[in-house]
């Protein structure tokens, strides 16, 4: 047992860094009765950063999904936009997002609390167990990085909807404002202690576990406004009222995207448990996976009936629809409710995509339907299956969607007036890759002349 004495070194051990001894001494200095708290904190924090990594990989999922479902002549542009969004999303979240998301002080009580850059979050006891006085099972940096990964998601959702005709520089400005201000303000209403969290005096608070409304709904509603301003792709809707399908160029890329999103969603929902508490963690993984599966199956059969063929795009969007539909209630509904919620989401998404196409809202990847429409369903369903207040859910949905829509509309209209939002017709025809970037995605391969 002598081998266990702290500080005994072997050839591999570096005496100056003895993390276990350091940890043990720290626990001892607080008193042995704190040991379970420290241990739980440590494992919860580990889960938080791993979950942040999983949410990060969703951005690769969005990038490949959007690229796959659009034409090859716009692929470089889409990938570039996704590099931009994750980068600017992380940076602006450090610059003002975090302290706007969790306002230190409200400019307008419960509604607006724009904050400044983060400082040294490892100071003042925020580094480890001091943050939140053990009422949060993560350090301030853990909280930061997990939420920062969420932030860029909203803007990414818009990216897909406006693909193939939006002007790059305009989108860069728009997405920066959306992620830095729009999303974080909406987030503060719910997660920052704002008005959504105090509905009914807090007893009937809006319930949105991981962000069906606050993240996905926000992105979907913002996308709708942007698409309305932007207009459809040239040739998508003919003068005689026909809808011309514009096919995506790579179904493997689309499938890679959806599977990576599914994978990352375990971090998105699972990390939203905000600890490694085994009870909710297992439930959330299970409801998340089953809702996705039910969404996929439902979309497969419904689209098969409606479109008379087994449609892969619909199957893929069905998985995502199931995921969005469970995100608000993943920790508070039963397994079979999750299956039902996912399945309904998978049905909704098929009709929603067809509906928006019919009213000439041109959304190349179905983002408005997947994130926006299923976000409504998922959030409201928590009232039916998870015990939330129906009125609060409705209020939250209306509040967030309206804000996202109007915020996006105003910002996009201003940008349109100042610098334009759409590429020229020639550029749209020739592709944004050559037009904006002077670079093709697949220079080696012949492109079919269609």
Q: Which of residues 431-450 bind its own copies (CB under 8 A)?
A: 436-448, 450
User: For residues 268 and 288, what is the distance between their CA atoms, to the nearest angstrom?
Assistant: 10
**Token representation of residue 129:** 């167990």
Q: How far is the CB of 410 from its own copies (least distance, A)?
A: 25
From 290, 324, 349, 353, residue interacting with its own copies (rule: CB under 8 A): 290
**Number of residues located near its own copies, criterion CB under 8 A:** 167
From 17, 244, 305, 417, residue interacting with its own copies (rule: CB under 8 A): 17
From 157, 180, 293, 330, residue interacting with its own copies (rule: CB under 8 A): 293
Residue closer to its own copies by CB (options 151, 404) is: 151
- 57: CB partners within 8 A, 6+ apart: 260, 263, 264, 267
Phi and psi dihedrals of 243, rounded to 5?
-105, 120
Phi and psi dihedrals of 112, rounded to 5?
-145, 125
Cα-only R_g, the chain: 23
Report which DSSP code applies to 209: S
Q: Which of residues 349-378 bind its own copies (CB under 8 A)?
A: none
Q: Which of residues 201-260 bind its own copies (CB under 8 A)?
A: 202, 247-253, 255-256, 258-260
**Token representation of residue 16:** 């100056």
Determine if 398 is a binding residue for its own copies (CB under 8 A): no
User: For residues 370 and 220, is the Cβ–Cβ distance under 8 A?
Assistant: yes
**DSSP bridge partners of 237:** 243
Report which DSSP code applies to 236: S
| Residue among 371, 408, 363 at smallest CA distance from 175 | 408
From 266, 351, 384, 385, residue interacting with its own copies (rule: CB under 8 A): 266
> For its own copies, which stretch binds (CB under 8 A), given 81-89, 224-232, 233-241, 376-384?
81-89
Determine if 305 is a binding residue for its own copies (CB under 8 A): no
Three-state SS at 70: coil
Q: x/- string (CB under 8 A) for its own copies, residues 98-137?
A: ----xxx------------xx-xxx--x-xxxxxxxxxxx
Q: Which of residues 137-166 bind its own copies (CB under 8 A)?
A: 137-145, 148-149
Residue closer to its own copies by CB (options 191, 401) is: 191
Handedness of CA 378, 286, 150, 251 (dihedral sign): negative
Residue closer to its own copies by CB (options 70, 352) is: 70
Q: Which of residues 61-80 bind its own copies (CB under 8 A)?
A: 63-64, 67, 71-73, 75-76, 79-80
Residue closer to its own copies by CB (options 8, 419) is: 8
Residue closer to its own copies by CB (options 277, 395) is: 277
Residue closer to its own copies by CB (options 152, 181) is: 152
Residue closer to its own copies by CB (options 240, 279) is: 279
Q: How far is the CB of 356 from its own copies (least distance, A)?
A: 20
**DSSP bridge partners of 422:** 166
From 159, 175, 272, 275, residue interacting with its own copies (rule: CB under 8 A): 275
Residue 73: exposure state from Cβ atoms within 10 A (0-12, 13-18, ≥19): buried
User: For residues 60 and 437, what is the distance between their CA atoms, to the nearest angstrom?
Assistant: 20
Q: How far is the CB of 387 from its own copies (least distance, A)?
A: 14
Residue closer to its own copies by CB (options 127, 409) is: 127
Q: What is the DSSP string of 257-325?
A: HHHHHHHHHHHHHHGGG-S--HHHHHHHHHHHHHHHHHHHHHHHHHHHHHHSS--HHHHHHHHHHHHHH
Q: Which of residues 30-59 bind its own copies (CB under 8 A)?
A: 30, 32-50, 52-54, 56-57, 59
Residue closer to its own copies by CB (options 176, 393) is: 176
Q: Which of residues 399-438 bind its own copies (CB under 8 A)?
A: 436-438
Q: Which of residues 85-104 bind its own copies (CB under 8 A)?
A: 86-91, 94, 102-104
**Token representation of residue 297:** 């199956």
**Token representation of residue 65:** 């999904």
User: For residues 335 and 284, what is the distance between their CA atoms, to the nearest angstrom?
Assistant: 9
From 155, 289, 324, 353, residue interacting with its own copies (rule: CB under 8 A): 289
Determine if 27 is a binding residue for its own copies (CB under 8 A): yes
Q: How far is the CB of 39 from its own copies (least distance, A)?
A: 4
User: For residues 317 and 387, what is the distance between their CA atoms, to the nearest angstrom?
Assistant: 28
């Amino acid at each position: 047992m002598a081998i266990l004495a702290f500080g005994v070194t072997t050839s591999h051990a570096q005496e100056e860094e003895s993390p276990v001894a350091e940890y043990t001494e720290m626990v001892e200095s607080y008193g042995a009765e704190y040991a379970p708290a420290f241990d739980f904190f440590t494992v919860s924090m580990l889960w938080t950063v791993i979950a942040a990594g999983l949410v990060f990989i969703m951005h690769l999922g969005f990038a490949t999904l959007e690229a796959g479902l659009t034409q090859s002549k716009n692929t470089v542009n889409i990938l570039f936009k996704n590099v931009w969004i994750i980068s600017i999303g992380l940076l602006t979240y450090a610059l003002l997002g975090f302290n706007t998301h969790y306002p230190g002080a409200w400019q307008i009580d419960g509604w607006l609390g724009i904050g400044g850059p983060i400082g040294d979050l490892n100071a003042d006891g925020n580094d480890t167990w001091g943050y939140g006085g053990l009422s949060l099972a993560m350090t301030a940096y853990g909280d930061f990085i997990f939420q920062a990964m969420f932030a860029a998601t909203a803007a990414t959702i818009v990216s897909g909807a406006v693909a193939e005709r939006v002007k790059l520089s305009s989108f860069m400005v728009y997405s920066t404002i959306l992620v830095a201000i729009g999303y974080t303000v909406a987030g503060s209403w719910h997660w920052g202690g704002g008005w959504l969290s105090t509905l009914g005096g807090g007893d009937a608070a809006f319930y949105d576990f991981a962000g069906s409304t606050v993240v996905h709904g926000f992105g979907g509603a913002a996308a709708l406004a942007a698409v309305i301003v932007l207009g459809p792709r040239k040739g998508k809707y003919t003068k005689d009222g026909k809808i011309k399908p514009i096919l995506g160029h790579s179904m493997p890329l689309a499938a890679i995207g959806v599977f990576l999103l599914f994978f990352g969603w375990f971090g998105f929902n699972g990390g939203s448990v905000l600890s490694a508490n085994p009870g909710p963690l297992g439930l959330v993984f299970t409801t998340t996976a089953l809702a996705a599966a039910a969404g996929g199956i439902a979309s497969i059969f419904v689209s098969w009936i409606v479109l008379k063929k087994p449609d892969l795009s619909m199957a893929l969007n069905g998985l995502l629809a199931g995921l969005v539909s469970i995100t608000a209630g993943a920790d508070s509904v039963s397994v079979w409710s999750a299956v039902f919620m996912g399945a309904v989401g998978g049905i909704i998404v098929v009709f929603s995509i067809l509906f928006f196409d019919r009213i000439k809202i041109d959304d190349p990847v179905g983002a408005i339907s997947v994130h926006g429409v299923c976000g409504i369903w998922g959030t409201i369903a928590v009232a039916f299956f998870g015990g939330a207040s129906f009125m609060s859910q409705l209020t939250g949905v209306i509040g967030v969607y309206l804000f996202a829509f109007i915020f996006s509309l105003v910002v996009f209209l201003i940008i349109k007036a100042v610098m334009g939002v759409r590429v020229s017709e020639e550029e749209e025809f020739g592709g944004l890759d050559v037009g904006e970037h002077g670079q093709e995605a697949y220079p080696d391969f012949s492109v079919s002349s269609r």
